[in-house]
Structure 1
Amino acid sequence: MKVGLIRCMQTEDMCPATTDFKVMKEKKCAFEGVEGDIEVIGVNTCGGCPGKRAVTRAVEMVKRGADTIVLASCITRGNPIGFACPHSQAMKDAISKKLGDCIRVIDYTH
């Protein structure tokens, strides 16, 4: 699996994505059952609210080899600030629509 990770711009100052990388390495949570290696192709933010740049950034990571786009839990579950992004579903839908069925989109990490 070659992952492009998109995280919340609002939380990047307080979260270095340590837990995201840990669950990938240990194949836990969203990555449980993944066969083979997990390679991180790139990490970027959504670009800030309302997350419109996430689509362009996902496309770029796919161009660079990602076969899976992962929306970090800071977007979809509100970790660590306790407030999930109100635009998360629209972001996920827009990424899926742009990339089509050949690219997997996972909507959380841990």
Structure 2
Amino acid sequence: MKVGIIRCLQTEDYCPGTTDFKAIREKTGAFAGIDEEIEIIGFINCGGCPAKKSILRARALVKRGADTIAFASCIQKGTPIGYPCPFAKKMRDLIAKDLGDGIRILDYTHEARN
């Protein structure tokens, strides 16, 4: 699996993505049960509310080799600030439609902040 992660712009000032990377390394959270090697292609923010740049950023990750787009847990679960993105569903739906069936979409990366 070659994964590109999209994270929330609002959380990047204080969240370095450590738990996202740990979930990949230890194959927990959304990565549990994945037998193949996981390579991180990129880690980028959504572009800010209302996520208008997220489609272009997902395309860039795929262009660079990602076969999976994962939304960091800050997007849909609100981790670590407790405020899920109000545009999460729309962003996910638009990206999935734009990229098509050949790209796997993961709705989160990890269960809780560690």
Given the two structures, how large is their TM-score scaled by the length of structure 1?
Answer: 0.99
Secondary structure of 1:89 counterpart: helix
What does the per-residue CA deviation read over 1:43-78, in whole Å, with 9 as the maximum and x for residues that have no partner?
Answer: 100000001111100001101100000000000000
Q: Which amino acid aligns with 1:46?
A: C
Structure 2 counterpart of 1:95: 95
Q: Which runs of 5+ in 2 are unaligned?
A: none
Identity %: 60
Query: Which residue pairs with 1:41 in the alignment?
Result: 41
After superposition, residues 1-110 of structure 1 pair within 5 angstroms as 1-110=1-110
Deviation at 1:36, TM superposition (A): 1.5
Number of residue pairs the alignment of both structures matches: 110
CA RMSD, aligned part only? 0.5
Q: Gaps (5+ residues) in structure 1?
A: none
TM-score normalized with structure 2 length? 0.95
Inter-partner Cα distance in structure 2 for 1:95 and 1:27: 24
Q: What's the CA shift for 1:35?
A: 1.5
Match of 2:79, as an amino acid?
Answer: N
AA aligned opposite 1:87: F
Residues 73-105 of structure 1 deviation map (CA, whole Å, 9 limit, x = unaligned): 000000111000000000000000000000001
Query: After the TM superposition, which segments of 4 or more aligned residues of structure 1 sit over 3 Å from their partners?
Result: none
Secondary structure of the residue that 1:22 maps to in structure 2?
helix
